[in-house]
Amino acid sequence: MSLTFANKVTIGRILIVPFFIATLLYYTPQRPILYDIALGLFLMAVISDVIDGYIARMRKQKTRAGAILDPLADKLLLISAFLCLYRMGDDLGAVRFPMWLVVAVISRDVILLIGSMLLYLFRGNLEISPSSWGKATTFFQVASILGIFFQWTFSEILWYVTVVLTLISAVDYLRNGIKILNEHTA
């Protein structure tokens, strides 16, 4: 089976992540171009996420591989961004991530990953659609990351909205996962 165009875009997004991480890890105030490159790579990945989803829906190219690779690409990019930007701390300027936000984002994604693996083990497939809570959470996580890149003074407001949505979406996904498991074993 060959990869669809949407799957190729998703794989491209996954391949961006190591370069994104490297530009942030090698950034210093003496090499500001790396910061700009990291921002460009992040924006490219975010835009390609929108594009691959649109292509998959419009061309009816939704695949099992895409259902696994797309959320994986999102998680890799977002977790990497939160960890790297947190680690950079004071090198970024006045606006920097608080630890509680980073812990909330990563904890949610680890819980979702474990839950997905359990669903796959018990059901033999993984057909989970993103919820509206999950989409809103991703939007605000991306906005929070952009707030760090652009040093938005209102970033703290984004963080509180992001952490609330992160917690709500975690509970929502857990509730739905337990419901699916209960239906499967009943």
Q: Per-residue DSSP letters for 30-59?
A: T-THHHHHHHHHHHHHHHHHHHHHHHHHHT
Q: Which residue has the tokens 């839950």?
A: 115
Per run of 10 residues, the mean pLDDT along the chain (length 186 residues) is 83 97 93 96 96 84 81 94 91 85 95 85 75 94 96 94 97 89 70
Q: Half-sphere exposure of 35 toward its Cβ, with a 13 Å CA cutoff?
A: 16
Distance, CA of 17 to CA of 82 (rounded, Å): 12
**Number of domains forming the structure of the chain:** 1
Amino acid, single-letter form, for residue 167: L
For residue 33, the model assigns a pLDDT of 96
pLDDT at 184: 63
Model-level pTM greater than 0.85?
A: yes
Q: Which domain holds residue 125?
A: 5-185
CATH number of domain containing 121 = 1.20.120.1760
Predicted pLDDT of residue 91: 78
